[in-house]
Structure 1
Amino acid sequence: MQTVNIWSEEFGAPTDEPILLIMGSMSQGILWPEEFVGRLAAGGRRVIRYDHRDTGRSGTVDFAKEPYTWDDIKDDVLRVMDAHGLDSAHLVCHSAGGLLGQLIAVERPERVRTLTVIGSSPLGGGEGAVIMRALMGQPQPEGSLPEPTPEFVDFFRAMITNPPPADRRERIEAMIAEQRVLHGTALPFDEDAARRLQERVYDRARDLDAVVNHRLAAAASPDFEPVGVLHRVKAPTLVIEGTHEPAKPGHGALIAERIPGARLMMVEGLGHTLPPEAHEELARAILTHTSGDRR
């Protein structure tokens, strides 16, 4: 069994209701903004965030010698809970982290007190194939998930074809440009704040290039997303999507349709990032959802 060290940190009192924050693919835990985390902790929650394997300060893997799948990344979530002494927790998930949360809620319902997914896609929907077909300019089969926005497609198509960044400065500029596209077009984009964040992401990574292992793991995980299982989710579920979501527009409604009793919350102006303008609204909704008072 492959063992990888996972970096994590927690905020708030150890006796408070626990929230585990699960970030998306190829993303460090610090993309959960500290102001947002602080609002949850101030609201009486024990908040834990962590770096996925092959991101940030967590361990990196030689994928050619020790390949892994998204099931291993999913099991890392449970390992983090175990390490913090949690039999169960409220899972708050972003982007591909929402796929992890949905699958854990299906497979291990006893470990999920509530589920919150932000900017995510429905489990079993084939999101990766939809994005790849969009980037390749191929038609989508009938019944596919909605495509990303043209701005998203144009940016990532260019990123695939352009030469990779040559040094730290170019790499950080590319990371800022990506964050700008994911941010959406409705809210002001704070380039200075984006630069500070991406400099921190760059500087704290053990190996910034190791994140591509998540793509390799996805390719090695054809059965990771079972189809037609979301009706088995028993945890109270809150689905959050921004009105200017560029990567997964309309996917939130599909999650909410397929999980019994799930509630969909649309956040005006929100894209695929977690900007300061949305922190109060998001934190208030999550604090309510994890309190048992979900009116």
Structure 2
Amino acid sequence: MQNIAIWSEEFGAATDEPILLIMGSMSQGILWPDELVGRLTAGGRRVIRYDHRDTGRSDTVDFAAQPYTWEDIKNDVYRVMDAHGLDSAHLVGHSAGGLLAQLIAVEAPERVRSLTVIAASPLGGGEGQVLLRALTGQPQPEGSLPEPSAEFVDFFRALMVAPPAEDRRGVIDGMIAEQRVLHGTGLPFDEDAARRLQERVFDRARDLSAVANHRLAAAAGPDFEPVGVLDRVKAPTLVIEGSHEPVKPGHGAIIAERIPGARLLIVDGMGHTLPAETHRELADAILTHTAG
């Protein structure tokens, strides 16, 4: 086992129902908004969030000397649960965190009290290939997942050829521009709030560039997404998608269709991020779903 320290924090009483929040690829745990965490805690939940390896305050690695795969990133979820003394928990995953949560619900059902998947793709759906084809202008084969919005594709195509920013302000400006695209067009974009968040992300990172190792991890090992297994999920499942999702539009409905008994919630105006306007609805839905 790799000796990598994972930063985490928890809120609420140790006797409350535990919720483990799993953020997406290359993302720090603080992207789970404080207000949303507070609403869950006030609703009687013990809430844990953490930084993936190579993000935030968790350890960063020299990937060439110490390579890892997404299987290792997935196994970090178990390590966080074990560190907090949890045999099982309610898993809430966002984006790639939703993929991790789906896989754990398949391979270790005894550790999952309930499953909530937000802004994610279905396990085994080939999301990475869909994104790559969209960014490189290749046609999508029949039966592929719906591809990202044109605005998302245009932004990331331009980003791939743009020179990197050289100072803190430039890096943060770029992070805000990315957040604006991920936010989608359904709700007003609060640039001041976005700047506060991205400044916090920048300042607490051990090495902001280390997040790129998550892309290397995807190529370093076998695909960690088994195909055709979602019907094996036994945990009560809630799937949440924004009505203006720019990255994975319609993917939530596919997840809900493939997991027996899953319920789909469409949050009006939400894109791929978790803005303040959605916190009450998200918290209420998660609290109801994890009520036991």
Q: Distance in 1 between matches of 2:115 and 2:247?
A: 21
Q: Distance in 2 between matches of 1:252 and 1:290?
A: 19
Query: 1:20-169 residue pairs with structure 2 within 5 A?
Result: 20-169=20-169
Q: Distance in 2 between matches of 1:231 and 1:193?
A: 40
Letter paired with 1:73: I
Q: Distance in 2 between matches of 1:221 and 1:256?
A: 28
- Which secondary structure does the structure 1 equivalent of 2:68 belong to? coil
Query: 1:202-281 residue pairs with structure 2 within 5 A?
Result: 202-281=202-281
Q: Please say which of residues 221-230 and 208-217 is displaced more in the overlay.
A: 221-230
Q: Tell me by how many angstroms 1:144 deviates.
A: 0.4
Letter paired with 1:213: N
Identity of aligned residues (%): 82
- Which secondary structure does the structure 2 equivalent of 1:256 belong to? helix
Match of 1:175 in 2: 175
Q: Distance in 2 between matches of 1:113 and 1:13?
A: 18
- Which secondary structure does the structure 1 equivalent of 2:189 belong to? coil
In structure 1, stretches of 5+ residues that fail to align are none
Q: Tell me by how many angstroms 1:166 deviates.
A: 1.4
Q: Tell me by how many angstroms 1:167 deviates.
A: 1.2
Give the ranges of 4+ consecutive aligned residues of structure 1 lying more than 2 Å apart after TM superposition: none
Match of 1:197 in 2: 197
How many residues get paired? 292
Output the TM-score relative to the length of structure 2.
Answer: 0.99
Letter paired with 1:44: G
Letter paired with 1:65: A
1:49-87 deviation line (CA, Å, top 9, x unaligned): 000000000001110001000000000000000000000
Q: Tell me by how many angstroms 1:165 deviates.
A: 1.0
Letter paired with 1:262: A
Q: Tell me by how many angstroms 1:46 deviates.
A: 0.1
- Which secondary structure does the structure 1 equivalent of 2:59 belong to? coil
Q: Distance in 2 between matches of 1:222 and 1:191?
A: 39
Match of 2:14 in 1: 14
Q: Distance in 1 between matches of 2:231 and 2:3?
A: 33
Q: Distance in 1 between matches of 2:38 and 2:54?
A: 26
1:185-236 deviation line (CA, Å, top 9, x unaligned): 1101110110010000000000000000000001123330000000000000
Letter paired with 1:70: W
In structure 2, stretches of 5+ residues that fail to align are none
Q: Distance in 2 between matches of 1:44 and 1:77?
A: 22
1:108-157 deviation line (CA, Å, top 9, x unaligned): 00000000000000000010110110000110011100000000000011
What RMSD, in angstroms, separates the aligned Cα atoms of the two structures?
Answer: 0.6
Q: Distance in 2 between matches of 1:266 and 1:10?
A: 28
Match of 2:5 in 1: 5
Q: Distance in 2 between matches of 1:283 and 1:200?
A: 23
Q: Distance in 2 between matches of 1:40 and 1:156?
A: 34
Match of 1:289 in 2: 289
Q: Tell me by how many angstroms 1:104 deviates.
A: 0.3
Q: Distance in 1 between matches of 2:186 and 2:102?
A: 29
Q: Distance in 2 between matches of 1:113 and 1:89?
A: 5
Q: Distance in 2 between matches of 1:148 and 1:223?
A: 21
Q: Distance in 2 between matches of 1:226 and 1:199?
A: 37
